Amino acid sequence: SIDKENRIEIKADWCNGSVAMTGVSYGGTLPFEVATTGVKGLKTIIPIAGISNWYDYRNSQGVSTYALPHYTDFLAAFNAGALFEDNDWLVMNDDYTAWLHQTAADQTAANGNYTKAYAGMDYSNDYKKIDCSALIVHGLNDFNVLTKQSDLMYKAFQKAGKNVKILWHQDGHNTLKGTMVGDELFDTLVNRWLTHYLYSVDNGIETMASVRVQSNIDGKYRTYDSWGDE
């Protein structure tokens, strides 16, 4: 990588070539997107409250559910990494700004309808390219990114034949950092997941229950073998 201030090359000698991605909200969306490219070196992702289908995020059955008919471009610009710097648009090249403008125009023209532009932003359609595992985390009381988004990608990973687990909790649009999942701290669970998939440590994490759901009655987690229509 290159230090953006001094233009000095920095070699990641600490990295063994295996990479993971995680994050919350937009930070949980990017792992979905990257995983469906089949990029080499990506071994696992832990998306938390991520978006997998941009149409369903702000539209429903032909009607826009947001004040603006376009929104993807706003989130992309907001999370580009330079929004709070002076002259932030100067760090975005012409191709990227043109993409943002075209994305906004396409979504405005759609006016709530599902179009080819939106079909291209449904990552679950590209499940055949997935070549990594996933621990998907989502709040059952998340009214920003609805649970359908994680359900779509859980099924996409299943179609791809990759190891995927899903963790449903009773909180909203946030992470579980610092909280207990059963008898284990969430941070410890994540550490074990990454240790296994990045360093091949045999710690049994890959055999954990496919589905964990936190009860809204007693707060305890139940485990299940599947999540779906059956």
Residues recognised as catalytic: 25, 142, 173
User: Cα separation of 79 and 2, whole Å?
Assistant: 20
In the sheet that holds 19-24, the strands lie side by side as 19-24, 42-48, 133-139, 164-169, 211-214, 221-224
| The two structure tokens encoding residue 148 | 């359908």
R_g of the chain, CA atoms, integer Å: 19
Q: Which of 173, 181, 168 is nearest to 210 (CA)?
A: 168
C-alpha torsion angle, residues 52, 36, 84, 86 (rounded to 10): -140
CB burial string 106-117: b at 16+ within 10 A, e below? bbeebebeeeeb
User: Cα separation of 105 and 98, whole Å?
Assistant: 11
β-pairing, 133-139 with 63-64?
unpaired
